[in-house]
Amino acid sequence: MQLYNFNSGPSILPQEVLDQAAAAIHNFNDTGLSILEIGHRTSHFVEVVTEAQQIIKRLMGLDDAYEVLFLQGGATMQFMQVPMNLLDENGLAAICDNGVWGNKAVKEASIFGPVKVVADTADKKHTYINKQLDIPNNTTYLHITTNNTVEGTQWHQYPQTNALLIGDMSSDIFCRPTNFKQFDLIYAGAQKNMGAAGVTMVVVKKEILGKVNRKIPAILNYQKHIEAGSLLNTPPVFSIYVSLLTLRWIEAQGGLVEMGKRNQEKANLLYHTIDSLPAFYCPIAKEDRSIMNAVFFLTNPALEAPFLTLCKSEGMIGVKGYRTVGGIRVSMYNALPLSSVQAFCDLMKSFAEKN
Amino acid sequence: MQLYNFNSGPSILPQEVLDQAAAAIHNFNDTGLSILEIGHRTSHFVEVVTEAQQIIKRLMGLDDAYEVLFLQGGATMQFMQVPMNLLDENGLAAICDNGVWGNKAVKEASIFGPVKVVADTADKKHTYINKQLDIPNNTTYLHITTNNTVEGTQWHQYPQTNALLIGDMSSDIFCRPTNFKQFDLIYAGAQKNMGAAGVTMVVVKKEILGKVNRKIPAILNYQKHIEAGSLLNTPPVFSIYVSLLTLRWIEAQGGLVEMGKRNQEKANLLYHTIDSLPAFYCPIAKEDRSIMNAVFFLTNPALEAPFLTLCKSEGMIGVKGYRTVGGIRVSMYNALPLSSVQAFCDLMKSFAEKN
């Protein structure tokens, strides 16, 4: 049976990335050794890190004011590592709480200094992006979650601020061209658009570091990682390699312009289908809908279970909504082909006709 | 050319582990999906975590007083995470500084509370294990590095203490049977004896947690990971799977008894060869020599470079000593066959005869 992988993350990767990753487990770069058996300080692996850093800077259009790091622990680690490096009692973190992830960012930052929630969308169950931000003058940084994987919302134009701008781009990194330079620090777990689980990309403007008065453990200190060329300790070698393969794939396909074109086309098709079928509805404000994760519902809740059963029987994987939200969630990351969305829309139509 | 992988880590893995890992990248457990594309909360992956936890407890002979976690960041993260969870201003960390890694553990712990270095072997360039520990009565925990990868020393009998005992077993975990119950917390980066880089095993006795008066960020809080069944956030899926494959391999080979037998045999052969050839010498105290990493030198330093060149030309990989130590380092982890050590010893003999 053909499978359609709509997983929210870890999620679908390009077939050629999988083929190359598997081949490297047998023989990496003609070394005769597995990628799992090579030293991380060998020239073979240093080249992997360097090339991945270069592609990221190229895709983002960033100059040497920024550094690219490959860390571990995902966004959950960054929720505490960002404030540990940037926030102290004299500062203020302004955080947009537009859903599950922003909310966690608030909790972790509170351990390190004053926090103000400058946007909260709980009033409408996080079905929109609150863009009316009241950012105090003494704000150190504004933190936004650029795409809310769980709730299905996405910032399509980033907020303007005089404070530093921090972006958790875990679930929409490299989904389209955007003004990355607007940000002072961007982080993303790789397991959606840029590889497999186990590595976290952090892109940071160097000049913002070193301002807090706190002893920072080496492993959590961005500055130390920069000084060590992102090889402070044994990095997640294989996950970084899979990210390199995925980054190469993005460039070879036509870069962010092409990713954006494809993702918009997939999203247009899916949202158009949802909106045109009375059996389904999407509660997300149209201007804030995510092109990565579409969250929607059956108009008749009793039909949700039968629809999910049908999806399963037709090989549609990962379409059950997040446990706190319910409904349906269809994730359409870079590697998902348009044909998968077409197949899903056909299934929706056929289900709607019969019910 | 046949290669002999003596890398110090990431290092050699069993061929069948590599084969199974590569196969799972194409099709994991007959799901039709890659291990890189599956959700970490699916039953497929929860079973991986559970089985790996069970094997670890079985190998260690531990009961439910202990929990097994799969975290990220390696020993370098544990250097700060252990004191963050266990040490505050009212406590005292007693740390054995027997080399590079113990020294880092000292520095990181100092950020969180009082530290006493209870053993320092710098006087003899870390060529022995100082077992005369002066542990104050008010010590919270004693931290030892059970095997010093860089310096080539290893604890063969662990110290007795009334304080909690913490072991960094990164480079000798599962190398032989030992009394794991003596420890209250054990950690190990997987990339030597139990898998690929990207995952860190932490085994912790539950009752020691929750005693410090400090707000601990969720991702660094052992208690939170335990509550979440080691799935607090997206874990390093593939690295955990490779650990499971390696753990299964250890059990299938005969468990720790068989590992210990093989490792002792390899180490005996290598050290006997070094000691019997005047062209080489090992400065490490005989009773403290590591069965994982043999560190030794050419009696005539001018012959070191030619010997390393010869090793390279004969496919002997990773035998250059650590940069601060120099000389030769031969790592003989679980997956290294005796035949590789035999080939290396033959090369040493032939080199010694000709020079």
Half-sphere exposure at residue B334, Cβ-oriented, CA atoms within 13 angstroms? 33
Find the helix or strand (DSSP H, E) in which B92 lies: none
Task: Phi first, then psi: give them for residue B322, nearest 5 degrees.
Answer: -60, 145
Look at the pTM and tell me if it is higher than 0.95. Answer: yes
* CA separation for the pair B107, B83 (Å, rounded): 11
* pLDDT, averaged across chain B: 97
Residues of A with Cβ-Cβ distance to B18 under 8 angstroms: 25-26, 34, 36-37
Q: Find which of B12, B31, B37 to mutate to test the A interface (most A CBs within 10 Å of its CB).
A: B37
* CA separation for the pair B5, B318 (Å, rounded): 7
Catalytic residue numbers of B, as ranges: 101, 168, 192
Closest approach of B278 to chain A, Cα-based (Å):
31
A192 part of the active site:
yes
Q: For the sheet containing A115-120, what is the strand order?
A: A66-71, A200-205, A185-189, A164-168, A141-145, A93-97, A115-120
A101 part of the active site:
yes
* CA separation for the pair B291, B154 (Å, rounded): 8
The two structure tokens encoding residue B9: 């880590």
Asked if B345 contacts B270 with a C-beta cutoff of 8 angstroms, the reply is yes
- Flag if A237 and B74 touch (Cβ within 8 Å): no
What structural domains does chain A harbor?
A: 4-10+255-354 (3.90.1150.10), 15-253 (3.40.640.10)
| Active-site annotation holder among A97, A155, A168, A184 | A168
| Active-site annotation holder among A101, A184, A249, A288 | A101
The two structure tokens encoding residue B305: 């470079």
The reported pLDDT for the residue numbered B9 is 95
The reported pLDDT for the residue numbered A1 is 87
The reported pLDDT for the residue numbered B1 is 87
Asked if A202 contacts A183 with a C-beta cutoff of 8 angstroms, the reply is no
B34–A contact, CB cutoff 8 A: yes
Q: For the sheet containing B293-298, what is the strand order?
A: B280-281, B293-298, B328-331
- Flag if B26 and A12 touch (Cβ within 8 Å): no
Mean pLDDT of B198-211: 98
Q: Find which of B4, B238, B249 to mutate to test the A interface (most A CBs within 10 Å of its CB).
A: B238
- Pairing of the two strands B164-168 and B185-189: parallel
Q: Find which of B43, B44, B193, B219 to mutate to test the A interface (most A CBs within 10 Å of its CB).
A: B219
Asked if B174 contacts B147 with a C-beta cutoff of 8 angstroms, the reply is no
Q: Which residue has the tokens 């700060």?
A: B80
The residue ranges of DSSP E strands in chain B, in sequence order, are: 4-5, 66-71, 93-97, 115-120, 141-145, 147-148, 153-154, 164-168, 185-189, 200-205, 280-281, 293-298, 316-317, 328-331
Residues of A with Cβ-Cβ distance to B7 under 8 angstroms: 37-39
Amino acid at B128: Y
pLDDT over threshold 90, residue B250: yes
pLDDT in tens, chain A (355 residues): 899 999 999 999 999 999 999 999 999 999 999 999 999 999 999 999 999 999 999 999 999 999 999 999 999 999 999 999 999 999 999 999 999 999 999 999 999 999 999 999 999 999 999 999 999 999 999 999 999 999 999 999 999 999 999 999 999 999 999 999 999 999 999 999 999 999 999 999 999 999 999 999 999 999 999 999 999 999 999 999 999 999 999 999 999 999 999 999 999 999 999 999 999 999 999 999 999 999 999 999 999 999 999 999 999 999 999 999 999 999 999 999 999 999 999 999 999 999 9
Q: Which residue has the tokens 């990339």?
A: B191
Please write the tens of the pLDDT for every residue from B320-349.
999 999 999 999 999 999 999 999 999 999
- Flag if B236 and A11 touch (Cβ within 8 Å): no
pLDDT over threshold 90, residue B245: yes
Burial of A327 (0-12, 13-18, 19+ CB in 10 A): buried
